[in-house]
């Protein structure tokens, strides 16, 4: 089965083509461009490039996998709208994966996954042997460090560990990995699970509001 994978939850604009084998995920082509201000300009051409590099026609694809975030509003929206439009136009199902899960996937021991949420905050989650045990959430770096220490984390993956001193050893990957995104959706794809709405994990309201409107709590 052939899958196109996209993620735009971080400054990394990611596109890949993956083949789902019976026992593994094989990445046939991938492109990752780091530019926090150019998600809209880079993603669609990146998809075209990886399809060409993999020698795969769009009509041969079986599914779309997209990182759901958490991530800043504009960049994340680009990826999810692109993925949804791609799936709709081809008549193939779409599946979502928490982008932080693609950082924590395959990690041994207890690790923190943290990405830049701007406003001097981090998106984060804690993983034990690759399984999420807390989060996702958004908090100040000192709060994230405290929660990670309480959970027993000794390493941090994701760009957040490089931007802020969290008292943890920084480790790879820095950005969500296409192979991990595909692997986390693989069972659903192989089982022919129903297509999923690509609901973004914003975790807070966008900065922009219409004139006269008050920003509401993300919980409302």
106-126 residue pLDDT tens: 999 999 999 999 999 999 999
**pLDDT tens readout for residues 42-86:** 999 999 999 999 999 999 999 999 999 999 999 999 999 999 999
Mean per-residue pLDDT for 7-16?
97
The pLDDT assigned to 208 comes to 46
Per-residue pLDDT for 219 more than 50?
Answer: no
Lowest mean pLDDT among 31-40, 58-67, 82-91: 31-40
Under a CB-based contact definition with an 8 Å cutoff, are residues 134 and 114 in contact?
A: no
pTM of the predicted model, to two decimals? 0.90
Number of structural domains (the chain) is 2
Domain membership of residue 208 (yes or no) is no
Give the distance from CA 137 to its chain's centroid: 14
Alpha-carbon radius of gyration of the chain: 17
55 shares a domain with 139: no
Q: What percent of the chain has pLDDT over 70?
A: 93
111 shares a domain with 82: no
CA-angle at 38, arms to 81 and 144, nearest 5°: 80
* Cβ-based burial of 185 (10 A; exposed 0-12, middle 13-18, buried ≥19): buried
CA nearest neighbour of 125 among 101, 106, 142: 101
Give the residue carrying structure tokens 């994230």.
Answer: 144
Sign of the Cα torsion 144, 132, 194, 50 reads positive
Distance (Å, rounded) from C-alpha 62 to C-alpha 31?
A: 20
85 shares a domain with 142: no
Domain membership of residue 216 (yes or no) is no
Mean per-residue pLDDT of the chain: 93
Give the domain extent around 114.
107-171
- HSE of 9 in the Cβ direction (CA atoms, 13 Å)? 37
Distance (Å, rounded) from C-alpha 3 to C-alpha 56?
A: 10
Sign of the Cα torsion 145, 148, 153, 156 reads negative
């Amino acid at each position: 089965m052939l899958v196109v994978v996209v993620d735009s939850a971080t400054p990394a604009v990611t596109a890949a083509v993956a083949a789902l084998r019976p026992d593994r995920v094989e990445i046939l082509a991938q492109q990752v461009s780091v530019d926090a201000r150019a998600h809209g300009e880079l993603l669609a051409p990146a998809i075209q490039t990886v399809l060409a590099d993999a020698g795969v026609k769009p009509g041969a694809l079986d599914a779309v996998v997209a990182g759901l975030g958490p991530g800043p509003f504009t960049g994340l929206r680009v990826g999810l709208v692109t993925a949804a439009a791609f799936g709709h136009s081809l008549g193939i199902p779409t599946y979502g994966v928490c982008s932080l899960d693609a950082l924590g996937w395959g990690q041994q021991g207890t690790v923190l996954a943290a990405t830049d949420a701007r406003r001097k905050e981090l998106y984060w989650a804690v993983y034990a042997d690759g399984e999420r045990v807390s989060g996702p959430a958004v908090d100040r770096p000192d709060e994230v460090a405290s929660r990670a220490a309480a959970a027993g984390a000794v390493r941090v993956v994701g760009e957040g560990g490089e931007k802020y001193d969290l008292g943890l050893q920084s480790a790879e990957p820095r950005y969500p990995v296409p192979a991990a995104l595909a692997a986390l959706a693989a069972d659903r794809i192989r089982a022919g699970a129903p297509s999923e709405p690509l609901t973004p994990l914003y975790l807070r309201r966008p900065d922009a509001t219409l004139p006269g409107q008050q920003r509401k709590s993300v919980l409302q």
